[in-house]
Amino acid sequence: MFRILISDKLGAAGLELLDQAEDVQYDMKTGLSKEELMAILPEYDALIVRSGTQADADVLAAGKNLKVVGRAGVGIDNIDVDAASKRGIIVMNTPTANNIATAEQAMALMLSVSRHTAPAHNSLAEGRWDRAKYVGYELYGKTLGIVGFGRIGRLVAERAQAFGMNVIAYDPYVAKEVGRDMGVTLVELEDLFPAADYITLHTAYTPETDKIIGTKSLEQMKDGVVIINGARGKLVDEQALAEALKSGKVRAAGVDVYSQEPPQNNPLIGLPQVVHTPHLGASTKEAQRAVATNMVEQVLDALRGTDFRHAVNLPFKADPSA
């Protein structure tokens, strides 16, 4: 009998699959401290997390019987993949389940900041009729620069093209032919920054992409550029972006992710040029169902040894006694 711990909220559709599995027992215990998680983890064969649980090296070491850590979502920066690999633990994610939801969120933020949707709504709700104050901009004819041209980046490109935008993209791991087939020009980052009217981030967070939007890169951009971040908060130097917004270098920003979540003392919060959402990229009924069911199916298959799809590492026992 396999035992699975779910330490962040998981959709009901995924729990229903677990209820139907005859070879599995599971517990969903959310809001655990690191110490509480480490205390109970030795009892389990698998751990399913979202973005809230930090499965660092200490936590993984406590999971003496762990075989699988499943990330219900795409980003795995809250899991120490190297530590998992050395302990023979498979790490897997659900890279396709919430792609459409995330791409649509990026477009929603782009449209909202362009047409002043949030402040215009608030103004009207307060009884004012300030039409002249909220004259916006069209997406049509503008150049969109996409940083990260994976699954989500490509979905954003298709949607932006439907609005008549010219799309360029940067991704060192994608062949130029892939972009050419989609009518997208792949360029170097230093060429994307000065060419784009809008820049949207869809890359993973790594040491190389840390604060990819910062003081130096902002200086390279057009005056009046618009920044959209629905990927990872740490891709952006938030203080540098705040200063660029205040100076007018950046006209507006749409932000769904933050370096610390929930944000505390964040310099972007409250700026009138910024539309904020609380990490809603994957928050659709359809995406939540797909994330939950995909994750449960993958973890069950991995525990049973029948399939290891979407594993992001090649686990091995660095020390068989560990």
Among residues 232, 238, 251, 310, the one annotated as catalytic is 232
User: What is the pLDDT confidence band of residue 188, given thresholds at 50, 70 and 90?
Assistant: very high
Residue 34 sits at the vertex; the CA angle it makes with 32 and 39, to the nearest 5 degrees, is: 85
276 classed as catalytic: no
Residue 158 has pLDDT above 80, yes or no: yes
Average of per-residue pLDDT values in the chain: 95
Q: For 264-321, what is each residue's pLDDT tens digit?
A: 999 999 999 999 999 999 999 999 999 999 999 999 999 999 999 999 998 876 554 5
If you average pLDDT over residues 199-212, what whole number do you get? 95
Among residues 115, 151, 276, 279, the one annotated as catalytic is 279
Distance in angstroms (rounded) separating the CA atoms of residues 119 and 113: 9
User: What is the pLDDT confidence band of residue 149, given thresholds at 50, 70 and 90?
Assistant: very high
Beta 198-201 vs 46-49: how paired, if at all?
unpaired
More confident residue, 191 or 321: 191
Task: Write down the pLDDT at residue 262.
Answer: 93
Distance in angstroms (rounded) separating the CA atoms of residues 209 and 142: 25
Backbone angles phi, psi at 190, to 5 degrees: -70, -15
If you average pLDDT over residues 220-245, what whole number do you get? 97
**Three-state SS across the chain?**
CEEEEECCCCCHHHHHHHHHCCCEEEEECCCCCHHHHHHHHHHCCEEEECCCCCECHHHHHHCCCCCEEEECCCCCCCECHHHHHHECCEEEECCCCCHHHHHHHHHHHHHHHHHCHHHHHHHHHCCCCCCHHHCCCCCCCCEEEEECCCHHHHHHHHHHHHCCCEEEEECCCCCHHHHHHCCCEECCHHHHHHHCCEEEECCCCCCCCCCCECHHHHHHCCCCEEEEECCCHHHECHHHHHHHHHHCCEEEEEECCCCCCCCCCCCCCCCCCEEECCCCCCCCHHHHHHHHHHHHHHHHHHHHCCCCCCECCCCCECCCCC
Among residues 128, 261, 286, 304, the one annotated as catalytic is 261
User: What is the pLDDT confidence band of residue 58, given thresholds at 50, 70 and 90?
Assistant: very high
If you average pLDDT over residues 162-171, what whole number do you get? 98
Instruction: For tokens 């933020």, name the residue.
Output: 109
If you average pLDDT over residues 57-76, what whole number do you get? 95
Task: Write down the pLDDT at residue 310.
Answer: 96
Cis peptide bond prior to 262, omega within 30° of 0: yes
Task: Write down the pLDDT at residue 321.
Answer: 52
If you average pLDDT over residues 230-241, what whole number do you get? 97
If you average pLDDT over residues 105-121, what whole number do you get? 97
Distance in angstroms (rounded) separating the CA atoms of residues 306 and 289: 23
180 classed as catalytic: no
128 classed as catalytic: no
More confident residue, 292 or 51: 292
Q: For 81-95, what is each residue's pLDDT tens digit?
A: 999 999 999 999 999
Task: Write down the pLDDT at residue 19.
Answer: 96
**What are the structural domains, with CATH classification, of the chain?**
2-97+285-304 (3.40.50.720), 99-276 (3.40.50.720)
More confident residue, 204 or 319: 204
71-75, 137-141, 144-148, 221-225: range with lowest mean pLDDT: 71-75
Share of the chain above pLDDT 70, in %: 98
Residue 154 has pLDDT above 60, yes or no: yes
